[in-house]
């Protein structure tokens, strides 16, 4: 090899090393704050700045550099929530790659996790963060926490509007007979969707009261389910017995028909007999046929009686099971309704579909048409989050975050813009409060919907308003996933949606546990089945 060529390669290697060190320096987290004042309520990922900001209810933020999806595997701009958390996780798509402190936001494989930060988008769709930062925020987040991926960084602003739900007044815990003993919440005993209510003892007591009520309803539902299962087995046994008696009756009827046929032939033979000997023989055959027919009739009648009794028993068992099943359905519905009172509610208004959707606990509840003024005019994408209680606990504090559209002619990969280099550590601009308010002004909600939703407004509840439809990523065991059209979505399009492994409510422990199941088609329940 020529010396010049060696020198050229050495220069390229040196330049690459220099660029790597420079990008590694950019990847260091911004030490704007040492810690949050409480649990995290929201995370905003800026693709242009390659930065994540994790906010608490007071608006304090922890920020760090990130590495999002590379070209063709871009992390899609949109609205997500945390679906699953695992401290130790390995990719099932990319050579069992390590993904420590993984916080999943789609079941197709996009997550927040610790990883290499070269200073530019380099992942297959995930958002890589510094390991110390990932470890720091892991215990601060909860299942269901909102995650927003935006092109340009933006900060949440406090907002007040008549459309934003307020919690319905509940009876004070003092009027109940359920004892309440405060228990300190830690990262180890906190549940998915749990709320930090240390500053709101009455609401905290109310939550425990509601949980106790939900546990009682769940116990009733379990007893009703066990009774229904028992009666179902009894019905199955009676059906099996009825099948046997029906089969025995069918055989007896067949024997009776053959005996009648023999008797008919014997009587015809007797009528045609000419000689005395033939007549005597025919009479003997006819008499035997009569005896056989009589015996066959007796057996048929006995079989018919047994079958009739079995049918009556089966009818009684079926009626008992139907009654028990109705009781079970009502009890399960009551238990679900009671449990829902302890969970935040998510509302999504789609301008494209002119519909309002409700989800709770990562489960679909119902959807109804909604009126949006000037439907031909874009409304944007706005995320309103109830971050904490306000007043005496009879109100909630709402914040707004708006995702702006990509300007015409703007490159699809915003991270290469000069602004990202010059203002990497600058504080993000606040959300345009006027635009966020104007979007709410255009929406009209039916009074009954507002009343129903208000029963479930806890911190963590949200209202999403968007031009977009619900993404196909919204399904079983997810909150709403809304992707912004016109933005690269390679990180999702190149990933098959995996069957969800998720946290499911365990009525025995009034808690959530990790549960694995096959994917089922998305179904919305009837309007008032749970509400």
Higher pLDDT, 219 or 206: 219
208 lies in a domain? Answer: no
Q: Are residues 227 and 268 in the same domain?
A: yes
Which residues are CB-contacts of 225 (< 8 A; sequence separation ≥ 6)?
A: 328, 331, 332
Q: Are residues 410 and 448 in the same domain?
A: yes
Closest CA to 451 of 523, 362, 345: 345
pTM for this model (two decimals): 0.73
SS3 410: coil
pLDDT 10s digits, 362-420 = 889 889 999 999 999 999 999 999 999 888 788 899 999 999 777 666 666 555 444 54
97 lies in a domain? Answer: yes
Residue-range definition of the domain harbouring residue 320: 220-329
Q: Are residues 357 and 325 in the same domain?
A: no
Q: Are residues 402 and 319 in the same domain?
A: no
Q: Are residues 411 and 319 in the same domain?
A: no
Q: Are residues 416 and 315 in the same domain?
A: no
pLDDT surpasses 80 at 500: no
What's the total number of domains in the chain?
Answer: 2
252 lies in a domain? Answer: yes
Q: Are residues 374 and 486 in the same domain?
A: yes
Terminal alpha carbon distance of the chain = 77
- 96 burial level (CB within 10 Å; 0-12, 13-18, 19+): exposed
Instruction: Write down the pLDDT at residue 30.
Output: 41
Per-residue H/E/C for 174-189:
HHCCCCCCCCCCCCCC
Cα–Cα distance for residue pair 406/404, rounded to 1 Å? 7
Q: Are residues 489 and 350 in the same domain?
A: yes
158 lies in a domain? Answer: yes
pLDDT 10s digits, 507-517 = 333 343 444 44
The overall average pLDDT reported for the chain is 80
pLDDT surpasses 50 at 504: no
Instruction: Write down the pLDDT at residue 399.
Output: 97
Q: Are residues 104 and 226 in the same domain?
A: no
Handedness of CA 281, 286, 287, 292 (dihedral sign): positive
Q: Are residues 324 and 349 in the same domain?
A: no
Q: Are residues 162 and 47 in the same domain?
A: yes
Cα–Cα distance for residue pair 207/308, rounded to 1 Å? 55
199 lies in a domain? Answer: no
Q: Are residues 376 and 409 in the same domain?
A: yes
Residue 42, H or E segment: strand 40-46
182 lies in a domain? Answer: no
Give counts: helices (H), strands (E), the chain.
Answer: 8, 21
Helices (H), 388-432: 418-422
* Predicted confidence band of residue 3 (pLDDT cuts 50, 70, 90): very low
What is each CA distance from 238 to 356, 430, 453, in whole angstroms? 47, 69, 46
For residues 341-346, average pLDDT: 89
The Cα angle at residue 29 between residues 26 and 30, in degrees rounded to 5: 95
Residue 348 belongs to domain with CATH number: 2.40.440.10
The CA R_g of the chain, rounded to the nearest whole Å, is 35
Cα–Cα distance for residue pair 82/145, rounded to 1 Å? 5
> Of 283, 301, 329, which residue sits at a domain end?
329
SS3 464: strand
205 lies in a domain? Answer: no
302 lies in a domain? Answer: yes
For residues 476-500, average pLDDT: 77
């Amino acid at each position: 090899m020529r010396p010049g060529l060696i020198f050229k390669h050495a220069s390229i290697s040196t330049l690459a090393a220099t660029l790597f060190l420079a990008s590694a320096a950019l990847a260091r987290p911004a030490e704007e704050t040492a810690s949050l004042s409480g649990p995290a309520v929201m995370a905003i990922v800026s693709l242009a700045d390659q930065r994540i900001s994790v906010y608490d209810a007071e608006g304090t933020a922890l920020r760090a550099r990130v590495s999002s999806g590379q070209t063709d595997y871009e992390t899609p701009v949109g609205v997500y929530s945390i679906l699953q958390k695992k401290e130790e996780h390995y990719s099932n798509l990319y050579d069992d790659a390590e993904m420590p402190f993984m916080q999943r936001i789609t079941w197709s494989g996009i997550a927040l996790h610790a990883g290499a930060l070269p200073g530019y988008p380099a992942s297959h769709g995930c958002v890589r963060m510094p390991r110390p930062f990932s470890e720091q925020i892991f215990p601060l987040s909860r299942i269901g926490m909102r995650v927003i991926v935006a092109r340009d960084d933006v900060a949440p602003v406090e907002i007040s509007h008549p459309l934003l739900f307020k919690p319905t007044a509940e009876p004070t815990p003092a009027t109940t007979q359920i004892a309440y003993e405060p228990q300190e919440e830690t990262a180890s005993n906190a549940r998915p969707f749990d709320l930090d209510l240390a500053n709101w003892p009455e609401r905290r007591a109310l939550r425990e009261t509601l949980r106790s009520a939900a546990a009682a309803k769940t116990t009733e539902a379990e007893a009703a389910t066990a009774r229904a299962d028992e009666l179902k087995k009894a019905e199955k046994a009676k059906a099996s017995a009825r099948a046997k008696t029906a089969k025995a009756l069918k055989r007896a009827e067949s024997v009776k028909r053959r005996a009648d046929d023999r008797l008919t032939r014997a009587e015809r033979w007797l009528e045609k007999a000419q000689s005395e000997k033939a007549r005597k023989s025919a009479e003997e055959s006819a008499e035997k046929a009569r005896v056989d027919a009589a015996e066959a009739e007796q057996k048929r009648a006995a079989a018919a009686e047994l079958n009739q009794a079995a049918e009556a028993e089966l009818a009684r068992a079926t009626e008992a099971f139907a009654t028990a099943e109705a009781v079970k359905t009502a009890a399960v519905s009551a238990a679900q309704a009671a449990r829902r009172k302890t969970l935040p509610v998510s509302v999504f208004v789609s301008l494209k579909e002119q519909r309002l959707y409700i989800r709770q606990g990562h489960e679909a509840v119902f959807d109804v048409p909604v009126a949006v003024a000037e439907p031909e005019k874009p409304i944007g994408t706005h995320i309103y989050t109830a971050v904490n209680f306000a007043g005496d606990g009879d109100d909630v504090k709402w914040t707004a975050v708006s995702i702006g559209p990509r300007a015409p002619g703007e490159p699809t990969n915003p991270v290469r813009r000069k602004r990202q280099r010059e203002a990497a550590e600058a504080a993000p601009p606040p959300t345009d409060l006027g635009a966020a308010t104007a979007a709410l002004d255009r929406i009209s909600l039916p009074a009954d919907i507002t009343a129903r939703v208000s029963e479930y407004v806890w911190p963590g509840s949200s209202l999403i308003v968007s031009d977009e439809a619900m993404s196909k990523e919204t399904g079983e065991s997810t909150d709403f996933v809304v992707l912004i059209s016109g933005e690269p979505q390679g990180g999702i399009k190149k990933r098959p949606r995996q069957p969800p492994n998720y946290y499911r409510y365990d009525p025995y422990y009034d808690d959530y546990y990790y549960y694995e199941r096959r994917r089922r088609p998305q179904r919305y329940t009837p309007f008032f089945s749970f509400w």
